[in-house]
Amino acid sequence: TKQKSEEDDNADSVSSSEKASKAEAAAPTSSNETKKKDFDRDGKLSDLRAMRVRELREECAKRNIRWAHFVEKEDLIQALIVAIENSADFSVSGAMEPGKVTELTGEQLEQELSQPSEAPLLLDIFATWCGPCQMMAPQLEAAASELGDRVRVGKIDSDKHAAMAQKLKAKGLPTVLVLNGSEELNRIEGALMKDQILQFVEPYI
């Protein structure tokens, strides 16, 4: 009887161990781990190497990367791939960075809206000729700096990307939206100050 009890205990121990191993194997990976696995570094490097030096410099400037001291084209490429890979944890398109306002293309915005994220998207639809839009620009930058990695902050030019502005039903400028995936959470028209922007997005963080 004693021997049978010991065998049962051993069996229970093995069973528990097997269950733990299976549970670990079945445990879902974090969103950051998934994004890192999904990031196609080789593919992105190939895309960057296909670009001209002038285009690489323009891309560096968009990401606030100081490129003047780079001598070789590969220096530009390596600086960009590091920035893009770091952004991949935060931004679906890889173009957006925490604490900064990113001017998006229509394609990049489509990517940002393609799936839900822990960080909602605060989007400013603007035009360069719009006075209130220009007045709000520094306020949006200040708000982005304070929001950090809690919110993706972007803007899109309604003249350059008219189809996207029409798709988002922007009637007045600026139009500010809070979006998560393809879902619109809120919108407001007119220029906002920093504190108003923060109050506007706070319920969705």
pLDDT in tens, 11-20: 444 444 444 4
Q: What is the pTM of this model?
A: 0.67
Whether pLDDT at 184 is above 70: yes
Mean pLDDT, residues 90-100 taken together: 88
| Pairwise CA distance, residues 58 & 64, whole Å | 10
- Compute the mean pLDDT over every residue in the chain, rounded to the nearest whole number: 85
CA distances from 58 to 19, 52, 76 (A): 53, 10, 10
What angle separates helix 73-88 from helix 53-62, to the nearest 10 degrees? 40
Instruction: Identify the pLDDT of residue 110.
Output: 96
Whether pLDDT at 88 is above 90: no
Instruction: Identify the pLDDT of residue 156.
Output: 98
pLDDT per position as a tens digit, 29-40: 444 444 455 678
Picking from 104, 101, 155, 151, the residue whose alpha carbon sits closest to that of residue 126 is 155
Instruction: Identify the pLDDT of residue 36.
Output: 52
Picking from 167, 195, 181, the residue whose alpha carbon sits closest to that of residue 119 is 181
pLDDT per position as a tens digit, 124-176: 999 999 999 999 999 999 999 999 999 999 999 999 999 999 999 999 999 99
C-alpha 183, offset from chain centre? 16
Residues with catalytic annotation? 130, 133
Whether pLDDT at 107 is above 80: yes
Instruction: Identify the pLDDT of residue 85.
Output: 83
Confidence of residue 23 (pLDDT cuts 50, 70, 90): very low
Higher pLDDT, 31 or 91: 91
Confidence of residue 89 (pLDDT cuts 50, 70, 90): confident
Mean pLDDT, residues 178-205 taken together: 97
Q: Which residues are CB-contacts of 111 (< 8 A; sequence separation ≥ 6)?
A: 92, 93
Instruction: Identify the pLDDT of residue 38.
Output: 66
